[in-house]
């Protein structure tokens, strides 16, 4: 039990003797619980929880968390219950252990479902007590260090999960060393050959460049001494994964990556950081565009430092970080600095506040995810490590992921601002909503009371908060519109059975809800509108529920299409029906009512018995434009396009899109127009036929 003795020795440097004794009891308890269990490596299982606890000791984490680390697998892998843990070691320890236990006793349909629910549970426990994730990260780090004993496919799965989830969480919490080691180990198992080649190359380069590094260190120390700055200067070798990323992003060979070494300067106070920066810029020339001030604008994980890249001797780029000792402690320990340095320092308190706020926002976004793939997508998006810092009109700084757009900014300010956003001003100029934001941008959101999210936003937003709120709004809106359509379809089916809708009272509906297990009438109507339930089946159930005699069919009532149904009714892109066209409706599961023209060839080819076909007709009072495609074959003469555009405008139609193709001696003009109905289209085509250069006009119905 040499490792256990080392653990006790390390804990004795900062814990009270009474707490150390509690840890001894926990070691014995865990050893007895795991008696006879072995790891894949062949080591006794107790070696793992002890190693996890030892990873946490440099953070000076408290006795409760150390005990939870020692017991983190006993509930999951042994006969010990959470109640026994609570009785022996107290409720706080039991809650930590419960937050770390997987949901293995619940059966999930897929591995992805199980993974998503385990992450969800862990994040909820983490929001209550951040020690849960510190223990989990230590657990994952030791598992990664001992991954060689696993099967290759399992290694790759665990390494990918670590790279995509755990390493970014460590980065987000400011645990710098843990973040880099998890990345390197994940890279090692995901790309073993690349890792091996780079590790060997780095070993050779270390020897070749030792003299250069020593010379630069001496020069930096001397320059700082001349400037009367007390500083601790160290050289550090970049980790293998960061070198690989640089090679990949800039298409470099290893020999071309000159800055494999970085230098760190630790000074005593805030002002000395900037004085040291000036001294080093006098020693070596700075590379333009390679300076970042994370002191004035800290990263969201609390990290503060000055970063600069200089032209060193022999043209070697030198990366230098300048920070105070206090900033360095937070940079290394992140959110765990609370236990390591109980100073009550403002920066540490601020870091904890930001971390808690991030967790709450993340959980709020994830709570709206309807399935496991959506949940994991939101989680990975939110853990994206690179940030841009932008300003509100009042000068407040907001941090967003790199690639974030004006829509992401709007949702980060407030959900209602995002939902009602119609335009964005960046640095006082209007820009498209999809424009990516850059560091230092001043962003202003323009809203309108009746505006609502656009489904197209989902293709370019970068934050999980924006994505989840857009999806939630669209689903809610679709549900409301689908319920309205469902009610019309149900009424049609009831009429065809000879039952008046007003004869179906609350008792009939309540019996139907009990029989089907559905919570509300609205849900059933929405399901009908979305094609998940057949209106005729529901109508018969309601009629039977009320002992109503389903009379003879009173003819098939026709569903009228108003064009304002929103997402519940879609106009098929294969034939683009417009008012005046003979139409037919088909209900497809999850898509609602799709309206086609009677002669749509796609409809004839794709007709299946599982679809519900409906008689539909245009409402007489439609007052909105519809897209229609036409093709004009014209003689290739100067000014013909202007004549065509003018004729379309005179007919009071709008051009949505235009493109050209050549067909022999003629030019084919392909237009997408907005017209009110078939009569309006006929007027447009009549105007176009009067142009001498127009040889032929065709309405294109298969414009997908």
Q: Are 153 and 222 in a shared domain?
A: no
Given the residues 3, 19, 43, 76, select the one marked as catalytic.
Answer: 76
Model pTM above 0.85: no
pLDDT of residue 107: 45
Q: Are 693 and 644 in a shared domain?
A: yes
pLDDT of residue 59: 83
Query: Three-class SS of residue 131?
Result: helix
Please report whether residue 306 resides in a domain: yes
Instruction: Give the domain CATH number at 456.
Output: 3.10.20.30
77 is catalytic: yes
> Whole domain around residue 215: which residue ranges?
196-334
Instruction: Give the domain CATH number at 312.
Output: 3.30.460.10
Q: How far is it, in rounded angstroms, from Cα 644 to Cα 627?
A: 18
Q: Are 200 and 64 in a shared domain?
A: no
pLDDT of residue 425: 92
Judge contact between 632 and 688, C-beta under 8 A: yes
Q: Are 91 and 142 in a shared domain?
A: yes
Please report whether residue 212 resides in a domain: yes
Last residue of a domain, one of 165, 190, 215: 190
Given the residues 3, 19, 77, 156, select the one marked as catalytic.
Answer: 77
Q: Are 569 and 632 in a shared domain?
A: no
Last residue of a domain, one of 190, 209, 240: 190
Q: Are 157 and 27 in a shared domain?
A: yes
Question: What's the token pair of residue 294?
Answer: 């994370």
Q: Are 493 and 456 in a shared domain?
A: no
Q: Are 531 and 390 in a shared domain?
A: no
Q: What is the DSSP string of 456-510?
A: GGGGT---HHHHHHHHHHHHHHHHHHHHHHHHHHHHHHHHHTT--GGG--HHHHH
Q: Are 22 and 75 in a shared domain?
A: yes
pLDDT of residue 184: 93
Please report whether residue 455 resides in a domain: yes
Measure the CA dihedral 409/410/415/417, to 10°: 160
pLDDT of residue 328: 86
Query: Three-class SS of residue 41?
Result: coil
Please report whether residue 363 resides in a domain: no
Tell me: the pLDDT tens digits for 300-355? 767 889 999 888 877 777 889 999 988 888 777 666 655 554 444 555 556 556 66
76 is catalytic: yes
Please report whether residue 596 resides in a domain: yes
Q: How many domains does the chain have?
A: 5
Q: Characterise 444 by phi-psi region: left (phi > 0), alpha (psi -120 to 50), beta (else).
A: beta
Q: Are 167 and 239 in a shared domain?
A: no
Please report whether residue 360 resides in a domain: no
Q: Are 421 and 483 in a shared domain?
A: no
Q: What is the DSSP string of 315-346?
A: G-EEEEEEEEHHHHHHHHHGGGHHHH-----H
Q: How far is it, in rounded angstroms, from Cα 191 to Cα 204?
A: 20
Instruction: Give the domain CATH number at 659.
Output: 3.30.70.260
Tell me: the pLDDT tens digits for 110-140? 566 666 666 666 666 666 677 888 898 999 9
CA angle 643, 646, 647 (to 5 degrees): 85
Please report whether residue 341 resides in a domain: no
Q: Are 527 and 674 in a shared domain?
A: no
Question: Count of CB atoms within 10 A of residue 495's CB?
Answer: 17
Instruction: Give the domain CATH number at 11.
Output: 1.10.3210.10
Q: How far is it, in rounded angstroms, from Cα 487 to Cα 182?
A: 55
pLDDT of residue 555: 42
Please report whether residue 229 resides in a domain: yes
- According to DSSP, residue 397 is labeled E
Stretches where the chain sits below pLDDT 50 are: 103-109, 341-344, 384-385, 547-556, 704
Last residue of a domain, one of 462, 484, 509: 462
């Amino acid at each position: 039990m040499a490792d256990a003795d080392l653990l006790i020795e390390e804990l004795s440097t900062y814990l009270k003797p009474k707490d150390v004794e509690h840890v001894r009891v926990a070691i014995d308890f865990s050893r007895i619980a795991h008696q006879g269990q072995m790891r894949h490596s062949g080591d006794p299982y107790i070696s793992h929880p002890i190693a996890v606890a030892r990873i946490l000791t440099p953070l000076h984490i408290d006795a409760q968390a150390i005990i939870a680390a020692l017991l983190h697998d006993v509930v999951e892998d042994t006969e010990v219950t959470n109640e026994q843990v609570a009785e022996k070691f107290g409720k706080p320890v039991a809650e930590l252990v419960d937050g770390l236990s997987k949901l293995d006793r619940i059966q999930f349909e897929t591995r992805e479902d199980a993974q998503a629910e385990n992450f969800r549970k862990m994040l909820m426990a983490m929001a209550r007590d951040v020690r849960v994730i510190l223990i989990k990260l230590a657990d994952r780090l030791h598992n990664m260090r001992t991954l060689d004993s696993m099967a290759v496919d399992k290694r790759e799965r665990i390494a990918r999960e670590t790279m995509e989830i755990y390493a970014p969480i460590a980065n987000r919490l400011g645990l710098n060393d843990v973040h880099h080691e998890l990345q390197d180990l994940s890279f090692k198992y995901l790309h073993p050959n690349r890792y091996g080649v780079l590790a060997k190359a780095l070993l050779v380069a270390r020897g070749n460049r030792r003299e250069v590094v020593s010379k630069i260190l001496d020069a930096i120390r001397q320059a700082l001494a001349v400037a009367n700055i007390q500083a601790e200067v160290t050289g550090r070798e970049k980790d293998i994964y960061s070198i690989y990323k640089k090679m990949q992003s800039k298409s470099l060979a290893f020999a071309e990556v000159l800055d494999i070494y970085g230098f760190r300067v630790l000074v005593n106070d805030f002002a000395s950081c900037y004085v040291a920066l000036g001294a080093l810029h006098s020693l070596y020339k700075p590379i333009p565009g390679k300076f970042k001030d994370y002191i004035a604008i800290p990263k969201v994980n609390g990290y503060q430092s000055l970063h600069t890249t200089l032209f060193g001797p022999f043209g070697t780029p030198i990366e230098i970080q300048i920070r105070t000792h206090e900033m360095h402690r937070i940079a290394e320990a992140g959110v765990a600095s609370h236990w390591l340095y109980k100073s009550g320092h403002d920066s540490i308190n601020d870091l904890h506040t930001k971390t808690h706020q991030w967790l709450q926002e993340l959980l709020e976004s994830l709570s709206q995810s309807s399935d496991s793939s959506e949940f994991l997508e939101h989680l990975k998006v939110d853990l994206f490590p690179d940030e841009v810092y932008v300003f509100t009109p009042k000068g407040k700084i907001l941090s967003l992921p790199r690639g974030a757009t004006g829509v992401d900014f709007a949702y980060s300010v407030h959900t209602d601002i995002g939902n009602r956003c119609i335009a964005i001003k960046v640095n006082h100029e209007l820009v498209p909503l999809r424009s990516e934001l850059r560091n230092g941008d001043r962003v202003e959101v323009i809203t309108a009371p009746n505006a609502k999210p656009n489904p197209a936003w989902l293709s370019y937003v970068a934050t999980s908060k924006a994505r989840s709120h857009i999806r939630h709004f669209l689903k809610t809106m679709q549900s409301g519109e689908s319920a309205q359509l469902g009610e019309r379809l149900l009424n049609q089916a009831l009429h065809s059975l000879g039952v008046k809708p007003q004869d179906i009272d609350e008792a009939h509906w309540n019996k139907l809800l009990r029989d089907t297990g559905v919570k509300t009438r609205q849900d059933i109507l929405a399901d009908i509108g979305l094609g998940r339930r057949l209106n005729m089946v529901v109508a018969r159930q309601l009629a039977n529920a009320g002992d109503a005699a389903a009379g003879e069919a009173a003819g098939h009532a026709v569903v009228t299409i108003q064009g304002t149904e929103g997402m519940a009714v879609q106009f098929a892109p294969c034939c683009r029906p417009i008012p005046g066209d003979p139409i037919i409706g088909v209900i497809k599961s999850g898509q609602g009512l799709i309206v086609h023209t009677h002669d749509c060839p796609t409809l004839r080819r794709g007709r299946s018995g599982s679809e519900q076909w409906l008689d539909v007709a245009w409402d007489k009072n439609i007052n909105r434009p519809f897209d229609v495609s036409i093709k004009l074959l014209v003689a290739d003469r100067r000014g013909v396009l202007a004549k065509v555009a003018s004729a379309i405008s005179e007919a009071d139609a709008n051009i949505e899109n235009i493109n050209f193709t050549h067909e022999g001696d003629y030019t084919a003009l392909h237009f997408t127009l907005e017209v009110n109905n078939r009569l309006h289209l006929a007027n447009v085509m009549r105007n176009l036929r009067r142009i001498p250069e127009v040889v032929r006009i065709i309405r294109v119905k298969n414009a997908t």
